[in-house]
Chains A and B, each alone.
Chain A
Amino acid sequence: MSITVKDLTHIYSPGQPQEQVALDQISFRIEDGTFAGLIGHTGSGKSTLVQHLNGLLKPTSGTILLGDTDITKAGTASRQARLKTGLVFQYPEYQLFEETVAKDVAFGPNNLGLSPEETDARVREALQLVGLDYEELKNVSPFELSGGQKRRVAIAGVIAMKPEILILDEPTAGLNPKAHRDILDMVRGIHESTGNITLMVSHNMNDIARMCDQVLVMDHGRLLMDGSPEEVFRRGEELKEVGLALPDSMEIARQIIEGGLALEGTFLTMEETADAIAAALQAK
């Protein structure tokens, strides 16, 4: 299911002294099956934007199409479409509350009024997608798991709703390097097995460069850039002006080029940068 946002504006406290334009005439399109990234400084409007995509917030003006359905309109079709967007908040493990892992993951599907069999099937499938063993963990309290595992259970709770669009807000915040990589591999695995849109909000430029097909850059409520990682990270100076940065692999490549060694490539990963350096040195 594609996302089409047109002229989306959101004003907090309109008409009040503290009136604030959080989103200012945003338009973009994300095609079905895309792995998209959303970056921007704190307060740039990222959270406000993603909360519109599952109907938690209503726009002041503008439209949001999920597939062909305008979710800003009232009505059943709109409600159904909003349920197709699964939103994983920052530190989702703080939202775990049930006595067992299985019950926690089942909470959403139960609320959809599914049969117990269907719910159970979804719980199994969701836990498998996040890389956890259903038999081993179904009766364990989620609070006894490690930080990385808790986060997986929380994500499974969203996956079990079978969203056609999965939005993750900073899924790797506060994780150690290995857990960080593991969660990203898991997200990539889910993306590949469902073939849906994944939208990842992140402050980590390395992850965005490595994972995404399309990158949206927000600044002060406006959409500053929309393009492939190559296109977006080519504009390093502008990114730095709005509080962002280049991925390490590109920042190091930039400094090497500045130091006088001509490199060619896109440098989206450290391996690409290493290949470019090796090639440049061999050519000498």
Chain B
Amino acid sequence: MSAFIEVDDLKFDYIKQDGTSLRAVDGISFRIERGSFTAIIGQNGSGKSTLAKNINALLLPTEGRILVDGLDTADPASLWEIRRRVAMVFQNPDNQIVSSIVEDDIAFGPENLGVDPAEIRQRVRFALKDVEMEEYRRKAPHLLSGGQKQRIAIAGAVAMEPQCIVFDEPTAMLDPRGRSEVLKVIERLHDKGITTILITHFMEEAARADHVIVMNKGRLEMDGTPTEIFSRQDRLKELSLDVPAPIYLARILGERGVDLPPGIETTEELVRCLCQLQ
């Protein structure tokens, strides 16, 4: 695999109104492989969203360097190309939907890129298929459910034909069905080869990634597979984080004398082990 994103000693300062600066990201380095699925977790204010906005050049490094598909985000000539290759989806779909008809909304991005109308129509069709919203193409977005609106926002990103999508807490405002619909779409896009970055406060969402980055106070605290990260329950707790439900249950079962093999991560594994124990 080759690196799609290379972050090298990134530092980022916000300038406050009184002129003083606040360091939000403090010297972090990591790589994200092409086609991988990376989750970024960390407490509120740990620098996750700042990092994400640096990745698609909405913010530029104060110090250090980010290469996206080999392009330096600090190079003004690369800016538009980087933003075309890396799309973002935010927490609140209402802030991202611009048109009063679903298909117009999805066409908005490619239209701005000057894409040929015939191709726009095709992209809109494919994007709606990817998010399973084809039958809603003529509907008004404000009449859709939260999960449906978020899927429209995702389709808008997909229509840009990006190589990477950064999802910044895309399920935080959704009901249970909306969350599972959106997660399914994210996994499908990853399966289609899109480099996927998911910022989340839901540990079970992070467990689905193949790579987890843990941020703490602007620094990179951990970087590994979900198995490696979620085996460090005590440290995660100190960082105001948590572990997915089945991992937590396996631990408190251990405290109750139930002898389980190490490394249980999913509900399926836990159920299988318990039903064999009896």
Q: Which residues of A contact B (CB under 8 A)?
A: 40-43, 90, 146-148, 170, 173-180, 203, 205, 243-245, 248-249, 251-252, 255-256, 258-261, 270-271, 273-275, 277-278, 280-281, 284
Contact of A274 among B91, B256, B278 (CB under 8 A): B256
- The reply to whether B272 and A179 contact each other, CB–CB distance below 8 Å, is no
The prevalent SS among residues of B at the interface is helix
> Does B245 have its Cβ within 8 Å of any Cβ on chain A?
yes
Residues of A within 8 A of B246 (CB): 252
B201 touches A278 (CB 8 A): no
B19 within 8 A of A: no
A249 to B270, CA, bound (A): 13
> How far is A179 from B46 in the complex, measured between Cα atoms in Å?
13
Pairwise interchain contact B173-A173, C-beta atoms closer than 8 A:
yes
Q: What B residues does A273 contact at CB under 8 A?
A: 249
| A255 and B267 within 8 A (CB) | yes
The yes or no answer to B177 lying at the interface (CB within 8 A) is yes
Looking across the interface, which residue of chain B has its beta carbon closest to that of A284?
B278
Are B203's CB and A261's CB within 8 A? no
* New contact pairs (15) apart from A42-B147, A245-B176, A274-B258, CB-CB < 8 Å: A40-B175, A41-B145, A41-B175, A148-B44, A174-B169, A174-B172, A176-B44, A179-B44, A203-B174, A243-B177, A270-B245, A271-B252, A274-B249, A275-B256, A281-B274
Which B residues are in CB contact (< 8 Å) with A148? 44
Count CB-based A-B contacts (< 8 Å): 119
Q: Which of A203, A258, A281 contacts B258 (CB 8 A)?
A: A281
Bound: A146/B203 CA distance, A: 21
Instruction: Judge if B26 is at the interface, Cβ distance under 8 Å.
Output: no
Q: How far is the CA of A273 from the CA of B146 in the complex (A)?
A: 31
A41 partner residues in chain B, CB cutoff 8 A: 145, 175, 177-178
The complex places the Cα of A43 from the Cα of B147 at a distance, in Å, of: 11
Chain A positions within 8 Å of B173 at CB level: 90, 170, 173-174
Instruction: Find B45's partner among A147, A244, A284 (CB 8 Å cutoff).
Output: A147
Contact of B174 with A278 in the complex, beta carbons under 8 Å: no
Contact B245 A248 (CB under 8 A): yes
B267 touches A243 (CB 8 A): no
Q: How far is the CA of A185 from the CA of B68 in the complex (A)?
A: 42
A177-B241, A180-B201, A270-B248 known; A42+B256 contact, CB < 8 A:
no
Known A-B contacts A244-B177, A255-B267; A277 and B258 likewise in contact (beta carbons under 8 Å): yes
Query: Do residues B271 and A176 form an inter-chain contact, with CB atoms below 8 A?
Result: no
Q: B44: which of A146, A170, A278, A281 is its contact (CB, 8 Å)?
A: A146
Q: How long is the Cα–Cα vector from A274 to B42 in the complex, in angstroms? A: 27
Neighbouring A residues of B113 by C-beta, 8 Å: none
Chain A residue with Cβ nearest B245: A248
Contact across chains for A179 and B271 when beta carbons are under 8 A apart: no
Contact residue among A174, A180, A243, A274 (Cβ-Cβ distance under 8 Å from B178) = A243
Residues of chain A within 8 A of B58, CB atoms compared: none
The 9 closest A-B pairs by CB, nearest first: A178-B240, A243-B177, A245-B176, A177-B242, A248-B245, A42-B146, A147-B44, A278-B256, A259-B275
Check B271–A256 contact: CB distance below 8 A. yes
Between B91, B240, B255, the greatest number of chain A beta carbons within 10 A of the residue's beta carbon is seen for B240
**Contact A244:B175 (CB < 8 A) given known A147-B45, A176-B44, A270-B252:** yes
In the bound assembly, the distance between CA atoms of A278 and B251 in angstroms comes to 12
Contact with A along B235-271 (1 / 0, CB 8 A): 0010011100110110011011110000000011011
Q: What's the nearest-Cβ distance from chain B to residue A22, in Å?
A: 13
B172-223, CB < 8 A from A: 172-179, 201, 203
Tell me the minimal C-beta distance from B17 to chain A in angstroms: 9
B43 at interface (Cβ–Cβ under 8 A)? Answer: yes
* CB <8 Å contact, A176 and B241: yes
Contact B253 A178 (CB under 8 A): no
Residue ID in chain B nearest A262 by CB atoms:
B278
- For residue B45, which residues in chain A have a CB less than 8 angstroms away from its CB? 146-147
Asked if B277 is at the interface (CB within 8 A of a chain A CB), the reply is yes
**List of A residues within 8 angstroms of B146 by Cβ:** 42-43
Give the docked Cα–Cα distance between A127 and B258 (Å). 44
Given contacts A252-B245, A252-B246, A284-B278, contact A173 B271 (CB under 8 A): no
